[in-house]
Protein backbone atom coordinates (compact mmCIF):
# COMPACT_ATOMS: atom_id res chain seq x y z
CA UNK A 1 0.00 0.00 0.00
CA UNK A 2 1.48 3.38 -0.94
CA UNK A 3 2.18 5.80 1.91
CA UNK A 4 -0.22 8.74 2.10
CA UNK A 5 1.91 11.78 2.65
CA UNK A 6 1.01 14.95 4.45
CA UNK A 7 1.56 15.78 8.03
CA UNK A 8 -0.83 14.16 10.47
CA UNK A 9 -0.06 14.86 14.12
CA UNK A 10 -1.46 13.16 17.20
CA UNK A 11 -1.25 14.98 20.54
CA UNK A 12 -2.10 13.02 23.70
CA UNK A 13 -0.43 12.66 27.09
CA UNK A 14 -1.18 8.91 27.09
CA UNK A 15 1.63 7.12 25.22
CA UNK A 16 -0.51 4.00 24.72
CA UNK A 17 -3.12 6.11 22.86
CA UNK A 18 -0.37 7.69 20.76
CA UNK A 19 1.02 4.28 19.88
CA UNK A 20 -2.31 2.66 19.06
CA UNK A 21 -3.51 5.58 16.90
CA UNK A 22 -0.18 5.72 15.08
CA UNK A 23 -0.41 1.97 14.36
CA UNK A 24 -4.02 2.32 13.20
CA UNK A 25 -3.14 5.17 10.84
CA UNK A 26 -0.08 3.26 9.60
CA UNK A 27 -2.29 0.24 8.82
CA UNK A 28 -4.38 2.49 6.56
CA UNK A 29 -1.36 3.93 4.73
CA UNK A 30 -0.99 7.16 6.68
CA UNK A 31 2.16 8.43 8.31
CA UNK A 32 1.66 10.24 11.62
CA UNK A 33 3.86 12.10 14.07
CA UNK A 34 3.10 11.77 17.77
CA UNK A 35 3.52 14.29 20.56
CA UNK A 36 2.94 13.78 24.27
CA UNK A 37 3.42 17.51 24.87
CA UNK A 38 1.17 20.22 23.41
CA UNK A 39 4.08 22.69 23.47
CA UNK A 40 6.29 20.35 21.43
CA UNK A 41 3.48 19.90 18.92
CA UNK A 42 2.89 23.65 18.59
CA UNK A 43 6.63 24.22 18.08
CA UNK A 44 6.51 21.58 15.32
CA UNK A 45 3.42 23.22 13.77
CA UNK A 46 5.25 26.57 13.58
CA UNK A 47 7.87 25.00 11.32
CA UNK A 48 5.91 22.37 9.37
CA UNK A 49 2.67 22.17 7.41
CA UNK A 50 0.15 20.11 9.38
CA UNK A 51 -2.85 18.83 7.43
CA UNK A 52 -4.56 17.17 10.38
CA UNK A 53 -4.15 17.43 14.14
CA UNK A 54 -5.75 14.82 16.39
CA UNK A 55 -5.92 16.49 19.80
CA UNK A 56 -6.71 15.01 23.18
CA UNK A 57 -8.93 17.28 25.27
CA UNK A 58 -7.51 16.66 28.75
CA UNK A 59 -3.73 16.94 29.17
CA UNK A 60 -1.70 18.05 32.20
CA UNK A 61 -0.04 21.12 30.63
CA UNK A 62 -3.08 22.52 28.86
CA UNK A 63 -6.28 21.31 27.25
CA UNK A 64 -7.05 20.49 23.65
CA UNK A 65 -9.36 23.48 23.23
CA UNK A 66 -6.48 25.85 24.04
CA UNK A 67 -4.18 23.93 21.69
CA UNK A 68 -6.85 24.14 18.98
CA UNK A 69 -7.09 27.92 19.44
CA UNK A 70 -3.33 28.38 19.24
CA UNK A 71 -3.10 26.06 16.24
CA UNK A 72 -5.81 27.99 14.37
CA UNK A 73 -3.67 31.13 14.73
CA UNK A 74 -0.55 29.33 13.46
CA UNK A 75 -2.20 27.28 10.74
CA UNK A 76 -5.84 28.15 9.96
CA UNK A 77 -6.06 25.47 7.25
CA UNK A 78 -5.19 22.60 9.59
CA UNK A 79 -8.09 20.21 10.14
CA UNK A 80 -8.73 19.09 13.75
CA UNK A 81 -10.27 15.99 15.28
CA UNK A 82 -10.73 16.17 19.04
CA UNK A 83 -10.58 13.02 21.18
CA UNK A 84 -11.41 12.62 24.84
CA UNK A 85 -11.92 10.03 27.52
CA UNK A 86 -15.02 11.72 28.88
CA UNK A 87 -18.03 13.29 27.21
CA UNK A 88 -18.75 16.85 28.28
CA UNK A 89 -21.28 18.81 26.23
CA UNK A 90 -19.75 22.29 26.83
CA UNK A 91 -16.31 21.03 25.77
CA UNK A 92 -17.79 19.31 22.69
CA UNK A 93 -19.58 22.56 21.78
CA UNK A 94 -16.41 24.63 22.22
CA UNK A 95 -14.36 22.24 20.08
CA UNK A 96 -16.90 22.18 17.26
CA UNK A 97 -17.44 25.94 17.45
CA UNK A 98 -13.66 26.32 17.21
CA UNK A 99 -13.72 24.44 13.93
CA UNK A 100 -13.07 20.82 14.87
CA UNK A 101 -14.29 18.35 12.27
CA UNK A 102 -15.31 15.86 14.93
CA UNK A 103 -15.34 15.20 18.67
CA UNK A 104 -14.79 11.53 19.51
CA UNK A 105 -15.10 9.85 22.91
CA UNK A 106 -12.57 7.08 23.60
CA UNK A 107 -12.84 4.27 22.86
CA UNK A 108 -14.16 5.01 19.40
CA UNK A 109 -14.74 2.85 16.36
CA UNK A 110 -11.55 2.42 14.32
CA UNK A 111 -13.29 2.47 10.94
CA UNK A 112 -15.30 5.60 11.80
CA UNK A 113 -12.06 7.26 12.92
CA UNK A 114 -10.25 6.31 9.71
CA UNK A 115 -13.17 7.60 7.64
CA UNK A 116 -12.86 10.97 9.41
CA UNK A 117 -9.10 11.03 8.85
CA UNK A 118 -9.49 10.27 5.14
CA UNK A 119 -12.08 13.05 4.83
CA UNK A 120 -9.92 15.54 6.75
CA UNK A 121 -6.86 14.84 4.63
CA UNK A 122 -8.91 15.29 1.43
CA UNK A 123 -10.30 18.60 2.77
CA UNK A 124 -6.81 19.83 3.62
CA UNK A 125 -5.39 18.92 0.21
CATH of residue 43: 3.40.50.2300
pLDDT recorded at residue 6: 59
Please check whether residue 90 is in contact with residue 109, taking contact to mean a CB–CB distance below 8 angstroms: no
pLDDT band at 2 (very low <50, low <70, confident <90, very high): very low
> Domain range spanning residue 38?
4-88+99-107
Q: pLDDT at residue 124 above 80?
A: no
74 inside domain: yes
**Number of independent structural domains in the chain:** 1
Q: In 28-100, which residue ranges form alpha helices assigned H by DSSP?
A: 38-47, 64-74, 89-97
75 inside domain: yes
80 inside domain: yes
pLDDT tens, 14-50? 999 999 999 999 999 999 999 999 999 999 999 999 9
26 inside domain: yes
Q: How far apart are CA 4 and CA 121, in angstroms?
A: 9
Amino acid sequence: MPRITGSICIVDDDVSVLSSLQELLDSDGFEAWTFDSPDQFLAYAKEHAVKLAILDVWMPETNGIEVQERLSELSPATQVIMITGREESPIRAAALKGGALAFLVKPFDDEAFLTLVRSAVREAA
